[in-house]
Amino acid sequence: MKTGLKRIFSGTALLLIILAGILFWWQFQAPALPAGITAGNGRVEATEYDIATKRSARVAKVFVSEGDMVGSGQVLAQMDCADLQAQLREAEARLREAKEGKKYAEAIVEQRKSELAYAEAELNRSLKLVKKGHVSEERLDQHRMSKLSAEAALTAAQVLIGQSVAGIDAATARIERLNTDIADSTLKAPVGSRVLYRLAEPGEVLPAGGKVLTVLDLADVYMTIFLPTAEAGRVSIGADARITLDAISGLVIPAKISFVAARAQFTPREVETRTEREKLMFRIKVKIDPTILLAHIGKVKTGVPGMAYIKLDPQAEWPTFLEARVPTGNSTDDSIDNSTDDSVDSSMGREPAVKQQSQSAAPMATPPVSAAPALESKNSPPPL
């Protein structure tokens, strides 16, 4: 009897635990997506620029630190170029020498012209006198040789002018090259960006192509996901999309599809599929509108995981929980705009990266950690 009661109580307790688990799962399960919309997971990323030295040199100064915001064209670091400046002074001296050499060659040409004119005059006189018998044939031959020598000397002098001009051109080209190398020794930001890594310190000697800094273009932010063939084939460039972030609940960022891979690839190792194995997947890039990013540039962070939702059917309606909600006002305002105005879904452009998950037949993915950004909130945890 007691054994039977124990079994009944044990079975009832187990049933209650199962029911509680099912209720908990149901409450926290994401709302089902309507037809014509799919999803995938990844990490928000931004285009990276490596700030590197063009030539082997010592790092003289680094003017920024990790996390600093920098403007386009701002000086970030200075490479030592004392040797280049010495070579430049030498090249400038060579240029002055070549110009003086040209003046000297021009003077020699004038001298040779005078000598040729004198030799021609002597020859003409000798030709007249030899007919009268006042000058011997030998003297006439000497004057002929003098004229020929003067002509050759003039030609040689004119060649010297050509050599001087070539020397001037060579010295000028060398000066231009050295000025370019000196200018390239000042490392500048290619775009407005945030410093991600400071990879070298003053005093370090770097080879050609050695990296000093890595910066992120916070106006080119996107999330890369992977979708199976059946869904990727329905995705169009420029299609509407939404991005949500794990760290900031309630934030729904409007986005556009900026890239769909032309070729399928095997499922990346980091991607976990709902089926045991989705053999072929297509890389999709979902890009956030740069106008939204620029309006909240101070809140853009890297490496934040989230979800990307994509319209496969242009006629499909976004469900309520995916209506656009972004911070309003300036970049310090954390209030959420509940407007569904799609006018913010505007121009897109550029690309790189990887990640994934999807609804129904789409794979669920845990993407690799990479440098990438997302809008920060006061209540969001600090990025790793």
Q: What is the pLDDT of residues 195-220, one digit of tens each?
A: 999 999 999 999 999 999 999 998 89
| Per-residue confidence (pLDDT) for residue 124, from 0 to 100 | 75
Using pLDDT thresholds of 50, 70 and 90, give the confidence band for residue 383. very low
| Per-residue confidence (pLDDT) for residue 331, from 0 to 100 | 40
5-40 residue pLDDT tens: 666 667 677 777 777 666 555 444 556 777 888 888
Candidate ranges 25-29, 181-185, 362-366, 369-373; pick with highest mean pLDDT:
181-185
Residues 281 and 211: their CA atoms lie apart, in Å, by 34
Class in CATH terms, 82-184: mainly alpha
| Per-residue confidence (pLDDT) for residue 11, from 0 to 100 | 67
- pTM for this predicted structure: 0.63
108-136 residue pLDDT tens: 888 888 888 877 777 777 776 766 666 67
- State the CATH architecture for 31-47+217-375: Beta Barrel (2.40)
Q: Give the residue extent of every domain in the chain.
A: 31-47+217-375, 50-79+192-213, 82-184
Give one word for 11, left, alpha or beta, with left for phi > 0 and alpha for psi -120 to 50. Answer: alpha
Which residues, 6+ apart, have CB-to-CB distance to 355 below 8 Å?
40, 41, 42, 43, 223, 224, 225, 226, 270, 271, 365, 367, 368
Percent of the chain with pLDDT over 70: 71
| Per-residue confidence (pLDDT) for residue 198, from 0 to 100 | 95
